[in-house]
Structure 1
């Protein structure tokens, strides 16, 4: 009886402590005097997450509410995590560039022991992030891009052959699926030396698991919110974010690839070779003198996973949305086609690394697509030290404070981009670009922690779109969705029903 009473007292005490701690968290911005919306006990300000609203929509509504408040940031509760929701572009520049040393970490959940695939470059902080970033940057130099260019063109030519076959069978195609198959084959070939055969095999494993990894998680919204709100506690509880069947697939692929290359002494001078070299080094010294151990197989797995997912999803989504807009705006499509034909004529009817730079209008189309359809809705950062916002002494970002930069909402701010929901590539002409801050365009982030593979992503999107527009005419039809409906379960901006377009071969 005494034991039961003692356990009851302990339970009451723990509940009281948890209640007090939660109350302190959910009243943080009220005590700071920072504008904010009152949070829900569990969802915070994430009402509709994973059910009725995408993260883009949640953040756009919040940004619009406070857009004219003239404050550098407002309070936002990402579930139970209080975040400084940045409203001022000057402050964005301080966080991403000027004061990067104070905001280099993200503070996101990863668990290298129980969920090794989560400990990848996008999530990592501290010395391990700096090591990987420094080492992997060499994969994306101009020389490496030029080396991989013919391979991407080769996959793109196979893509054109498949497209011609598809058009003969039907002039209405689900284009989002087809461009995803193209980018899967590009990433598989260039990064891992693997022939994924997604273009020919509709049941290809790489495409199947790539799509599932964006929407399927180990746990539901409640535990997901706990991992995001309390990452240290989630690690102690040994929570796992990745669905087991997804982790097993990528473990098998990476282990087989590494084993084959090491046994047969195969070198392709690609992303996987770099990871294998880092695995076989016992110790590595960073630029600041820190010494860290070489990569484990689990760490190789995590970096391979994120490179594949990021490379295939962002580029294929961008291509799909670009074709959707070009189909709705035939005069823009005609202008792109004329440019592609002129550039090819000037370069012997071949796409080369140098010729891509001459596709200036097509690159403006890609930039505008990335603005209008921002695949990743926000950037995460965390402060190392207390930071007083310049020009706003009453606004302080405390040490350990999480930060959200709502890049998608910034891209739809009419004071920065007039008529923001209109598709107008001319926004990114040199003249118009010079009239707004460069920090106002953030699909790849900015500063030392921007997207490491942005040049590769742009390259494969540019090659794919150039050849598609040269060979085919795209237009809307009765099956074309208008407006697009997005999947609230996906971490990226995704259309679950796809994008049907009418396609005619030239």
Structure 2
């Protein structure tokens, strides 16, 4: 009797087993998870799901509308059949994923390869134990005491920036000009992180390598507005290995990283040159808690950073430390240009402070207190609400889990869910900008109105749980827990001193432009109707004359 089995029988049997196992897994996941029960927007595209609809509109706006339609937690179809994504503004889920169980949820395979290309294996890219090591190492550099020590350098960089802007205006007829503030503020925030973090002078954007950094970042941001960027992100979600493909957008990110990394090597060598012959740290490094000192000290200890990790962290802080801070200043200036009276009120508050304190400028503590300059503080909160530097983020579950809901969901069959069972690999999306503009939570959500943050107007704000979800406990505006933005104190101080200094020297007028936004590393703008000109924030600037106003 012939006991052999034909090849065709083997193939058909194997195919049958494979299909059966996939169907069984699908049915098991379907009946042991709740994602399919959650409400969803109507009419997804067969190819793009709901994602293209979210991409073509200005960042966050489509998700804001879906929140209004579907509630604070819904599911949407990912592009290219990648599966349903949970989109949420629920404080229970946000707290669970981004604070309590942060290492059970990793960055998306869309985001992590891009972070690797742009900044390498530094703090932004790292997960798990690698992140814990780097975070513990770098926390002292951004303690409140150390950021206070950075204040004089921040002030010095700001004054150099103001002087350069003054000279720029004086070179134009009538000392007035339309200025792309996007270009200018990037230069000063790059100067600040270079000086306070590494003792390196980026020369306010004038050195050749600095120009390459800024041009590289701008080119990358421009590419992020093209629809091909949406396709690239969708493909990366399905096939993370494509991050190594020779695609121009990815190559541009790598070029930016290598430019900064070459500078980083010089910074490291300069610091090492300060080592004494006996191995003691030189005066530049000994006892210091600046970033470069901490990174160097780690490299000579057991279980410290490798040389590449050291360089990648310098790249991380240069990229993240300048771009995020500058953007929020730019969009705030645009809003102030549209509200001349609000400009005057801030100047009046600053002038009254000086009058009450013998003509001096506010100290670090006074800028940061929230009570000494209440209007400036309210402007800061409103700017972060409307223009978060990281306008959206997503996480992937590394294991099966149960998501607690602060706001119960009514399912498609009429049942009420107080928690959502999810499977390993589930994507959870947090559209921060959209969350901060939900119509049901905020009065006039698209209006820049700092007065909503005054104590007497507390009734206009969402309740505490919703306010927490919007980021005012740090959960979304700066992230939270062990992943809270390590430099958030420096970013807040930079924002306030730059805004105060500019308003006391210059007046801003609206050019009538409308901006649209995309997330390209951070929130990036371009002018509607002038898309070919690329990312920019044009504002008319002139000198502020105090005697004309007070």
Q: Shorter-chain TM-score: what band?
A: 0.7 to 0.9
- Contact 2:154–2:192 (CA under 8 A) maintained in structure 1: yes
TM-superposed CA distance for 1:304, in Å, is 1.9
Task: Normalising by structure 1, report the TM-score.
Answer: 0.82
Question: Corresponding residue for 1:286?
Answer: none
- Contact 1:182–1:198 (CA under 8 A) maintained in structure 2: yes
* Residues 228-377 of structure 1 mapped to structure 2, 5 A cutoff: 228-231=237-240, 233=241, 241=250, 243=252, 244-265=254-275, 266-267=284-285, 269-283=289-303, 294-345=304-355, 346=357, 348-356=359-367, 357=369, 358-377=372-391
Q: CA–CA distance in 2 between the matches of 1:380 and 1:488?
A: 13
Question: Corresponding residue for 1:290?
Answer: none
TM-superposed CA distance for 1:157, in Å, is 1.0
Question: Corresponding residue for 2:525?
Answer: 494
Q: Deviations over 1:132-164 (max 9, x none)?
A: 222222111111111100000001111121122
Question: Corresponding residue for 2:169?
Answer: 167
Q: CA–CA distance in 2 between the matches of 1:146 and 1:375?
A: 23
Q: CA–CA distance in 1 between the matches of 2:35 and 2:489?
A: 44
Q: 1:78 to 1:466 in 2, by over 3 A?
A: farther
Question: Corresponding residue for 2:189?
Answer: 183
Q: Does 1:400 align with 2:425?
A: yes
Q: CA–CA distance in 2 between the matches of 1:118 and 1:139?
A: 20
- Contact 2:328–2:384 (CA under 8 A) maintained in structure 1: yes
TM-superposed CA distance for 1:90, in Å, is 3.4
Q: CA–CA distance in 2 between the matches of 1:471 and 1:113?
A: 38
Q: Does 1:34 align with 2:42?
A: no
Q: 1:488 to 1:151 in 2, by over 3 A?
A: closer
Larger mean Cα displacement after TM superposition, 302-311 or 75-84? 75-84
Q: 1:426 to 1:393 in 2, by over 3 A?
A: closer
Q: Does 1:207 align with 2:211?
A: no
TM-superposed CA distance for 1:65, in Å, is 2.6
- Contact 2:181–2:539 (CA under 8 A) maintained in structure 1: yes
TM-superposed CA distance for 1:297, in Å, is 2.2
Gaps of 5+ in 1: 284-293
User: SS at 2:134's partner residue?
Assistant: helix
Task: Normalising by structure 2, report the TM-score.
Answer: 0.76
Q: Deviations over 1:442-486 (max 9, x none)?
A: 32223432222111111111111111111222222xxx2422244
Question: Corresponding residue for 2:401?
Answer: 386
Q: Does 1:146 align with 2:152?
A: no
Q: 1:135 to 1:432 in 2, by over 3 A?
A: farther
TM-superposed CA distance for 1:126, in Å, is 0.9
Question: Corresponding residue for 1:288?
Answer: none
Larger radius of gyration: 2
- Contact 2:183–2:536 (CA under 8 A) maintained in structure 1: no
TM-superposed CA distance for 1:334, in Å, is 0.9
TM-superposed CA distance for 1:73, in Å, is 3.5
Question: Corresponding residue for 2:530?
Answer: none
Q: Does 1:483 align with 2:514?
A: yes
Q: Does 1:123 align with 2:125?
A: yes
Gaps of 5+ in 2: 1-6, 276-283, 409-416, 527-534, 546-550
Q: 1:43 to 1:157 in 2, by over 3 A?
A: same
* Residues 415-494 of structure 1 mapped to structure 2, 5 A cutoff: 415-433=440-458, 435-436=461-462, 437=464, 438-439=467-468, 440-441=470-471, 442-476=476-510, 480-486=511-517, 491-494=522-525
The size of the alignment, in residue pairs, is 474
Q: CA–CA distance in 2 between the matches of 1:487 and 1:63?
A: 15
Q: CA–CA distance in 2 between the matches of 1:100 and 1:488?
A: 25
Question: Corresponding residue for 1:197?
Answer: 203
- Contact 1:117–1:298 (CA under 8 A) maintained in structure 2: no
TM-superposed CA distance for 1:36, in Å, is 2.9
TM-superposed CA distance for 1:123, in Å, is 3.0
User: SS at 1:492's partner residue?
Assistant: strand
Q: 1:178 to 1:143 in 2, by over 3 A?
A: same
Q: 1:39 to 1:276 in 2, by over 3 A?
A: farther
